[in-house]
Amino acid sequence: MTTNNVPVTGIQSTVQLPIAEWDKTPGRDSQETALAALEDGKVLFFPQLAFALTGAEGRFLTPDLVGDSKNVSYSFASRKIGHCACSDADKPAVAEMMHRFCGQAKALVENLLPAYKAGLTMGRASLRPVEAAGRAQSWRKDDTRLHVDSFPTTPLNGKRILRVFSNVNPSGRPRSWRLGEPFEQVAARFATAVRPPTPAALMLMQLFRITRGRRSLYDHYMLGLHDAMKSDDNYQRTCPQSTFDFPALSTWAVFTDSVPHAVTAGQHQFEQTFYLDVDGMAQPEKSPLRILEKQLGKSLRN
């Protein structure tokens, strides 16, 4: 089957869970299902789980909130908000809204995935009020192209990237995604073509503060995969992939460092990033770190 000349497979990329409350501990069956599905490269989909805005907060669902930026950013730990173009009088209310979402996402992950709790840390959250479709940007920053997540300035040295998303579109519009092939296949296609870095290059990036800390070989190869996927027009058109629309007032979670994904349309979404130590996984051999080390035949962590 094809859609706009893109092959769409029948692969089941999502696993649906009947969770409707952020801070309720699910049963053991749901916990085990969620853990296995995530580590197998599936998206956890919660169709009944909505992030509720107050009536007054609805006015913040506008692209004007971010000005020339793509999203508002927020740190749960420091309570600092960034890229918010609203008035100074409104910033505390936006920050409180973001803080509430972060807390609910944290409760969801800790209750659904208790085995991860010891190795889990919170990254930044974002509110994305800008329409995803039709944004003019370079291929490297174009999230409508299939990619795996890797951060150019923040070395992770093998840590996993787990993200929780919630669609709060007030008009009922879905968030449309494409989902790609298993990570092992992505690595097999692109990893050996990534040119190894020189030790001096990694050291200089840290010295001149291009990166926050020393970039590991793992980060170098993950960035290489990210760029190779996005820059390859033929791969974008012909690789195995599926599509999924996440409805308004629904939530989903996924390891975005191992699941190729692209957002093709949608507006008004919250997102919270978590980092997980590889050793905190039930099956570390399914991590991008272990898969790349096996395929490349060398250690990739500092």
| In a domain? residue 38 | yes
Please report the pLDDT score of residue 135 as a whole number: 80
How would you write the pLDDT of the chain (302 residues) with one tens digit per residue? Answer: 334 455 565 556 999 999 999 999 999 999 999 999 999 999 999 999 999 999 899 999 999 999 989 899 999 999 999 999 999 999 999 999 999 999 999 999 999 999 999 999 999 999 999 999 988 688 999 999 999 999 999 999 999 999 999 999 999 999 999 999 999 999 999 999 999 998 888 888 988 888 999 999 999 999 999 999 999 999 999 999 999 999 999 999 999 999 999 999 999 999 999 999 999 999 999 999 999 999 999 999 98
Domain span at 83 = 15-296
For residue 87, give both structure tokens: 């008035």
pTM above 0.85, yes or no: yes
| In a domain? residue 111 | yes
| In a domain? residue 5 | no
| In a domain? residue 99 | yes
Please report the pLDDT score of residue 7 as a whole number: 59
| In a domain? residue 302 | no
Q: For the chain, how many structural domains are there in total?
A: 1
The CATH number of the domain holding residue 97 is 2.60.120
| In a domain? residue 4 | no
Please report the pLDDT score of residue 1 as a whole number: 33
Please report the pLDDT score of residue 8 as a whole number: 60
| In a domain? residue 6 | no
| In a domain? residue 198 | yes
